[in-house]
Amino acid sequence: MKYPKIIYWGLGIGLIICLILGWIIFCLQKNQELKIIFFNVGQGDAILIESGRNQIIIDGGRNEELLLERLGEFMPFWDRTIEAIVVTHPDSDHFGGLIGALKNYRVKNVIKTKARSKSQIWRKMENIIAEKKVNKILAINGLNIKFPNLAKIETLFPFFNVAEYPKKTNDTSVVMKLVYGKNSFLFTGDLPSNKEDELLQTKINLKSEVLKVGHHGSRFSTSDDFLEAVDPKDAIISVGKNSYSHPTKEVLDKLKRRLVRIWRTDQDGNIIYQCKDAVRECFVFAE
């Protein structure tokens, strides 16, 4: 039995419409998604926050090539733009790898404090930022970043401008909290316990589902009071081979006593949180 050509045309047009609608629905769903990836970059921190086509990187580890490899694994190959890079503080195991991202991607904004380093690698990063005319934003309490899907990053620390060349760079670590519905993540850089105490005194709501453990699990971070205030379900320790005994038994024991689930980049690899929307809890896995 032969069907009129108009029927075939109708079926074809219907299929095209379905595909278009399906694509629109897919895009809308994907824009609701939020992904947080704690990269395995050895002894250092590197975190990618992705919502649709928007990406923010918090620190980049020490190695340029390794960070680029990780970004290549998780960012779409056609997306060569990064909305913002956050430099928590001027230690090379946090900012060194960012040079690769600055050279190879179009970075719109760099968020950092006024703290600097006299090292050659820091000067190299600043030169690239200047050459590419990347917009600079001061990291300070009250700075907020909002995603199209209503996820929000709040800057909690520092409270004031910091010294240009601080005696202790860890003291200037930028602390940020990401909130998406019932899901929350606290990123602490290398913040030491004395600065954790300053946060506690402000009565800021630190409670978070996921804590990026300060200073790779050093005994000089993650005080009992701070851990009680955050009350995390998960703890991420970004660490690699090192001579500092990171993460220390002291910090690991604190987390275990509170029945916190511990994830380590040196043992688990990249740790990925996928949040489908603001209603459901994020799903976590490692690879």
Beta bridge partners of 180: 183
In angstroms, the CA 51 to CA 31 distance is: 6
In angstroms, the CA 242 to CA 146 distance is: 36
pLDDT at residue 13, as a whole number: 56
pLDDT in tens, 62-102: 999 999 999 999 999 999 999 999 999 999 999 999 999 99
pLDDT means over runs of 10, the chain (287 residues)? 50 50 48 93 98 95 98 94 98 98 98 97 98 97 93 96 94 98 97 98 96 98 98 98 96 98 98 94 96
In angstroms, the CA 62 to CA 52 distance is: 27
Beta bridge partners of 97: none
In angstroms, the CA 93 to CA 1 distance is: 72
